[in-house]
Amino acid sequence: AFGRSRTFWFRFYVSWFKAGAYVRVGSFLGRSFTFSQIKSVNLSESTLTIRKLNEQEIVLDLNRFEREDIAKLHSIFSQHVINVAT
């Protein structure tokens, strides 16, 4: 019961599965990403920029994340997206 409600309790939350990921960064609503729809991912300092196949660019400000958590999030995307820049 609590496991499924984590997305409502925590302001900073990341979950991933085979086809995509869900990232919530300080807001009530998070963003879900389908890995097959992502063209590229770029990590710069504490900003993760995700460019989708339709050229939509999503910028996630990760200032409140620990360095290790930022590296893990980048690793998750780099395992599933072909074009990853650091």
Check whether 57 has a pLDDT greater than 90.
yes
pLDDT band at residue 3, thresholds of 50, 70 and 90?
very low
The pTM score is 0.73
Q: What are the C-alpha distances in Å from 12 to residues 26, 27, 85?
A: 6, 8, 24
Bridge partners (DSSP) of residue 77 are none
Structure confidence at residue 28 (pLDDT): 64
Q: Which residue has the higher pLDDT, 35 or 17?
A: 35
Identify whether the C-beta of residue 73 lies closer than 8 Å to the C-beta of residue 48: yes
Which of 11-15, 24-28, 48-52, 56-60 has the least mean pLDDT?
11-15
